Structure 1
Protein backbone atom coordinates (compact mmCIF):
# COMPACT_ATOMS: atom_id res chain seq x y z
CA UNK A 1 0.00 0.00 0.00
CA UNK A 2 1.37 3.39 -0.96
CA UNK A 3 0.01 6.15 1.21
CA UNK A 4 -1.51 9.23 -0.41
CA UNK A 5 0.76 12.29 -0.34
CA UNK A 6 -1.99 14.90 -0.27
CA UNK A 7 -5.50 15.36 1.09
CA UNK A 8 -6.94 15.39 -2.45
CA UNK A 9 -5.22 12.09 -3.33
CA UNK A 10 -6.56 10.52 -0.15
CA UNK A 11 -10.14 11.59 -0.86
CA UNK A 12 -9.88 10.57 -4.51
CA UNK A 13 -8.62 7.11 -3.54
CA UNK A 14 -11.33 6.72 -0.88
CA UNK A 15 -14.02 7.69 -3.39
CA UNK A 16 -12.63 5.39 -6.10
CA UNK A 17 -12.70 2.45 -3.72
CA UNK A 18 -16.11 3.53 -2.38
CA UNK A 19 -14.70 3.76 1.16
CA UNK A 20 -15.28 7.43 1.97
CA UNK A 21 -18.22 6.66 4.28
CA UNK A 22 -16.15 4.03 6.08
CA UNK A 23 -13.43 6.63 6.57
CA UNK A 24 -16.02 8.94 8.19
CA UNK A 25 -17.25 6.11 10.41
CA UNK A 26 -13.68 5.34 11.51
CA UNK A 27 -13.09 9.01 12.35
CA UNK A 28 -16.32 9.14 14.36
CA UNK A 29 -15.40 5.95 16.20
CA UNK A 30 -11.94 7.17 17.19
CA UNK A 31 -13.12 10.65 18.19
CA UNK A 32 -15.75 9.02 20.38
CA UNK A 33 -13.10 6.79 21.96
CA UNK A 34 -11.00 9.90 22.63
CA UNK A 35 -14.02 11.51 24.32
CA UNK A 36 -14.07 14.40 21.84
CA UNK A 37 -17.52 15.63 20.94
CA UNK A 38 -17.31 15.64 17.16
CA UNK A 39 -19.58 13.55 14.98
CA UNK A 40 -19.43 13.82 11.20
CA UNK A 41 -22.44 13.02 9.05
CA UNK A 42 -21.54 10.34 6.53
CA UNK A 43 -22.46 12.64 3.63
CA UNK A 44 -20.14 15.46 4.71
CA UNK A 45 -18.22 17.05 1.85
CA UNK A 46 -14.46 16.44 1.94
CA UNK A 47 -13.76 20.18 2.15
CA UNK A 48 -16.09 20.54 5.13
CA UNK A 49 -14.52 17.49 6.76
CA UNK A 50 -11.05 18.97 6.39
CA UNK A 51 -12.19 22.37 7.70
CA UNK A 52 -13.97 20.93 10.77
CA UNK A 53 -11.08 18.62 11.57
CA UNK A 54 -8.59 21.45 11.22
CA UNK A 55 -10.64 23.71 13.48
CA UNK A 56 -11.02 20.96 16.10
CA UNK A 57 -7.36 19.96 16.12
CA UNK A 58 -6.30 23.61 16.33
CA UNK A 59 -8.55 24.17 19.37
CA UNK A 60 -7.30 20.98 21.00
CA UNK A 61 -3.67 22.05 20.58
CA UNK A 62 -4.43 25.53 21.94
CA UNK A 63 -6.82 24.70 24.77
CA UNK A 64 -6.81 20.96 25.56
CA UNK A 65 -3.36 19.62 24.81
CA UNK A 66 -3.80 16.43 26.86
CA UNK A 67 -6.95 15.53 24.90
CA UNK A 68 -5.05 16.26 21.68
CA UNK A 69 -2.28 13.84 22.68
CA UNK A 70 -4.88 11.26 23.70
CA UNK A 71 -6.57 11.57 20.29
CA UNK A 72 -3.26 11.02 18.49
CA UNK A 73 -2.62 7.99 20.68
CA UNK A 74 -6.05 6.47 20.05
CA UNK A 75 -5.83 7.05 16.30
CA UNK A 76 -2.24 5.75 16.43
CA UNK A 77 -0.61 8.63 14.57
CA UNK A 78 3.14 8.11 14.40
CA UNK A 79 4.90 10.09 17.12
CA UNK A 80 7.94 10.28 14.87
CA UNK A 81 5.91 11.96 12.10
CA UNK A 82 4.34 14.45 14.52
CA UNK A 83 7.73 15.36 15.99
CA UNK A 84 9.09 15.94 12.49
CA UNK A 85 6.55 18.73 11.94
CA UNK A 86 7.41 22.37 12.55
CA UNK A 87 5.63 23.46 15.73
CA UNK A 88 6.35 27.19 15.42
CA UNK A 89 3.09 27.96 13.60
CA UNK A 90 0.19 26.28 15.38
CA UNK A 91 -2.21 26.87 12.48
CA UNK A 92 0.13 25.16 10.00
CA UNK A 93 0.95 22.42 12.52
CA UNK A 94 -2.73 21.62 13.06
CA UNK A 95 -3.30 21.43 9.30
CA UNK A 96 -0.43 18.95 8.91
CA UNK A 97 -1.62 16.90 11.90
CA UNK A 98 -5.10 16.70 10.33
CA UNK A 99 -3.54 15.12 7.26
CA UNK A 100 -1.61 12.64 9.42
CA UNK A 101 -4.84 11.75 11.23
CA UNK A 102 -6.74 11.27 7.96
CA UNK A 103 -3.93 9.24 6.46
CA UNK A 104 -3.76 6.92 9.48
CA UNK A 105 -7.52 6.50 9.51
CA UNK A 106 -7.40 5.76 5.79
CA UNK A 107 -4.80 3.04 6.44
CA UNK A 108 -7.13 1.37 8.94
CA UNK A 109 -10.08 1.48 6.55
CA UNK A 110 -8.00 0.30 3.59
CA UNK A 111 -6.50 -2.66 5.48
CA UNK A 112 -9.85 -3.66 6.93
CA UNK A 113 -11.39 -3.58 3.45
CA UNK A 114 -8.53 -5.46 1.80
CA UNK A 115 -8.28 -8.25 4.38
CA UNK A 116 -11.90 -8.73 5.39
Structure 2
Protein backbone atom coordinates (compact mmCIF):
# COMPACT_ATOMS: atom_id res chain seq x y z
CA UNK A 1 0.00 0.00 0.00
CA UNK A 2 1.27 3.44 -0.93
CA UNK A 3 0.11 6.05 1.56
CA UNK A 4 -1.37 9.22 0.12
CA UNK A 5 0.99 12.17 0.41
CA UNK A 6 -1.63 14.91 0.58
CA UNK A 7 -4.91 15.41 2.38
CA UNK A 8 -6.82 15.67 -0.90
CA UNK A 9 -5.30 12.43 -2.21
CA UNK A 10 -6.21 10.67 1.04
CA UNK A 11 -9.83 11.84 0.89
CA UNK A 12 -10.08 10.98 -2.82
CA UNK A 13 -8.79 7.49 -2.17
CA UNK A 14 -11.16 7.00 0.77
CA UNK A 15 -14.12 8.20 -1.30
CA UNK A 16 -13.21 6.05 -4.30
CA UNK A 17 -13.21 2.97 -2.08
CA UNK A 18 -16.33 4.12 -0.20
CA UNK A 19 -14.36 4.05 3.05
CA UNK A 20 -14.64 7.69 4.15
CA UNK A 21 -17.30 6.83 6.79
CA UNK A 22 -15.02 4.07 8.09
CA UNK A 23 -12.20 6.60 8.40
CA UNK A 24 -14.43 8.81 10.54
CA UNK A 25 -15.47 5.81 12.65
CA UNK A 26 -11.82 4.89 13.21
CA UNK A 27 -11.00 8.45 14.26
CA UNK A 28 -13.93 8.47 16.68
CA UNK A 29 -12.91 5.10 18.11
CA UNK A 30 -9.31 6.17 18.74
CA UNK A 31 -10.28 9.55 20.19
CA UNK A 32 -12.63 7.75 22.57
CA UNK A 33 -9.84 5.34 23.58
CA UNK A 34 -7.61 8.35 24.26
CA UNK A 35 -10.36 9.91 26.44
CA UNK A 36 -10.58 12.98 24.23
CA UNK A 37 -14.05 14.40 23.90
CA UNK A 38 -14.25 14.63 20.13
CA UNK A 39 -16.89 12.95 18.03
CA UNK A 40 -16.96 13.54 14.30
CA UNK A 41 -20.26 13.07 12.48
CA UNK A 42 -19.90 10.45 9.74
CA UNK A 43 -21.11 12.91 7.12
CA UNK A 44 -18.65 15.65 8.06
CA UNK A 45 -17.15 17.34 5.01
CA UNK A 46 -13.47 16.59 4.51
CA UNK A 47 -12.53 20.27 4.82
CA UNK A 48 -14.41 20.51 8.12
CA UNK A 49 -12.81 17.30 9.34
CA UNK A 50 -9.36 18.65 8.57
CA UNK A 51 -10.10 21.97 10.28
CA UNK A 52 -11.64 20.41 13.41
CA UNK A 53 -8.87 17.84 13.75
CA UNK A 54 -6.19 20.47 13.22
CA UNK A 55 -7.74 22.72 15.84
CA UNK A 56 -7.99 19.85 18.32
CA UNK A 57 -4.37 18.79 17.81
CA UNK A 58 -3.22 22.40 18.17
CA UNK A 59 -5.11 22.80 21.46
CA UNK A 60 -3.77 19.51 22.77
CA UNK A 61 -0.17 20.50 22.00
CA UNK A 62 -0.68 23.89 23.66
CA UNK A 63 -2.78 22.92 26.68
CA UNK A 64 -2.52 19.21 27.39
CA UNK A 65 0.65 17.70 26.02
CA UNK A 66 0.24 14.39 27.87
CA UNK A 67 -3.17 13.82 26.21
CA UNK A 68 -1.59 14.72 22.86
CA UNK A 69 1.13 12.12 23.37
CA UNK A 70 -1.44 9.56 24.50
CA UNK A 71 -3.49 10.19 21.36
CA UNK A 72 -0.44 9.67 19.15
CA UNK A 73 0.30 6.45 21.04
CA UNK A 74 -3.28 5.15 20.72
CA UNK A 75 -3.42 5.96 17.01
CA UNK A 76 0.11 4.56 16.61
CA UNK A 77 1.58 7.46 14.67
CA UNK A 78 5.17 6.76 13.69
CA UNK A 79 7.55 8.22 16.26
CA UNK A 80 10.36 8.79 13.72
CA UNK A 81 7.95 10.76 11.52
CA UNK A 82 6.94 12.93 14.48
CA UNK A 83 10.57 13.52 15.43
CA UNK A 84 11.39 14.70 11.91
CA UNK A 85 8.86 17.53 12.11
CA UNK A 86 9.97 21.09 12.81
CA UNK A 87 8.45 22.26 16.08
CA UNK A 88 9.33 25.94 15.76
CA UNK A 89 5.88 26.91 14.42
CA UNK A 90 3.06 25.32 16.43
CA UNK A 91 0.42 25.94 13.74
CA UNK A 92 2.54 24.24 11.09
CA UNK A 93 3.48 21.41 13.46
CA UNK A 94 -0.15 20.72 14.38
CA UNK A 95 -1.13 20.74 10.70
CA UNK A 96 1.57 18.19 9.86
CA UNK A 97 0.65 16.02 12.86
CA UNK A 98 -3.00 16.18 11.79
CA UNK A 99 -2.04 14.75 8.41
CA UNK A 100 0.08 12.02 10.02
CA UNK A 101 -2.91 11.08 12.19
CA UNK A 102 -5.18 10.90 9.15
CA UNK A 103 -2.59 8.89 7.22
CA UNK A 104 -2.28 6.33 10.01
CA UNK A 105 -6.03 6.08 10.49
CA UNK A 106 -6.46 5.63 6.74
CA UNK A 107 -3.86 2.89 6.78
CA UNK A 108 -5.80 1.03 9.49
CA UNK A 109 -9.10 1.38 7.62
CA UNK A 110 -7.57 0.29 4.31
CA UNK A 111 -5.99 -2.81 5.84
CA UNK A 112 -9.17 -3.79 7.68
CA UNK A 113 -11.12 -3.47 4.46
CA UNK A 114 -8.53 -5.30 2.40
CA UNK A 115 -7.95 -8.26 4.72
Q: Residue 13 of structure 2 aligns with which residue?
A: 13
Alignment partners' CA distance in 1, 2:79 and 2:66: 15
| TM-score for both structures, normalised by structure 1 | 0.99
The gaps in structure 2 that reach 5 residues or longer are none
Q: Residue 27 of structure 2 aligns with which residue?
A: 27
The gaps in structure 1 that reach 5 residues or longer are none
By how many angstroms is 1:2 displaced?
Answer: 0.3
Alignment partners' CA distance in 1, 2:104 and 2:9: 14
Q: What are the equivalent positions in structure 2 for 1:56-67 lying under 5 Å apart?
A: 56-67=56-67
Alignment partners' CA distance in 2, 1:53 and 1:68: 12
Runs (4+) off by over 6 Å: none
By how many angstroms is 1:55 displaced?
Answer: 0.3
By how many angstroms is 1:101 displaced?
Answer: 0.1
| TM-score for both structures, normalised by structure 2 | 1.00
Q: Deviations over 1:24-73 (max 9, x none)?
A: 00000000000000000000000000000000000000000000000000
Q: How many residues align?
A: 115
**What root-mean-square deviation, in Å, do the aligned CA atoms of Structure 1 and Structure 2 show?**
0.2
